[in-house]
Amino acid sequence: MSKSVRRRFAGAGALALMLAGAFGSAAQAAPTPEQLVFEQPFLETFEPGASISYRFSRVAADTNLAPSFEDVVTLNVVKPDDARDGGKAAVVQLFSGLKARSFGPMPATYNPVVLVLLEQDVVEMQKVLGGSPYYIRARIRDALTSAEKVEEVKVDYKGQSIDAWSIKVTPFVNDPNRAKLKDFADRTYEITYSDKVPGGLYAIHTVTPKAGATTPLLVETLTVTGEDASGAKP
């Protein structure tokens, strides 16, 4: 499963190559959601030995549905056993202890943490709702690739306000099967990128509202905390 995470979300067709310089200042054309998630080479300057850390939190109103917890996610750039000189790959370590799972090796170009978290999301939704994980995955993928635009925003990183791009989608809002999706039908994903943070990915924020309630059923947030740049190019 770990080796096919990108293929599952990218779809069967090859993605178009990204125009150089699409990600940058406000004066430049805004990148598309597809470019940010699947194509932007955020890990290009990282060499084996580098790692990027993220903080993950889940707040659940119904602990029978899912437990609340906090943990860490780490993206490691490694040299595969079969790599030639200069070869590298990405491995994502999801959580610790009994929850720990490892995904990879994957290409060390785009940032795969988003796709790993989305795949984890698909698995957990399927456990609750039943049905086909392929259907859930396809709806999320379609929402990301068909989103009309990204929004230019400011975010705080290590006490400084930095430029960022935000993608916000509600994949199941118009789904013909939304009744079967229950509270997950209005689940919202907000993914924020910035070239001012290591690895490009700033945060993933997911909210599952509870019908008739002011408190969400489930809130999950992943935020970049920093890097060990020992393997990054100057």
Find tokens 């859930």 and name the residue: 136
For residue 202, the SS3 value is strand
Percent above pLDDT 90 for the chain: 55
pTM over 0.75? The answer is: yes
pLDDT of amino acid 114? 94
pLDDT of amino acid 68? 92
pLDDT of amino acid 228? 78
Q: Report whether pLDDT(10) > 60.
A: no
Among 56, 15, 33, 39, smallest CA distance to 192 is for 33
Length of the chain: 234
**Structure confidence at residue 24 as a pLDDT band (50, 70, 90):** very low
For residue 137, the SS3 value is helix
Find tokens 């437990």 and name the residue: 67
Among 157, 193, 205, 204, smallest CA distance to 35 is for 193
Q: Residue 105: is the preceding peptide bond cis (ω within 30°)?
A: yes
Q: Report whether pLDDT(74) > 80.
A: yes
* Cα 15–Cα 31–Cα 122 angle in degrees, nearest 5: 60
Q: Report whether pLDDT(4) > 90.
A: no
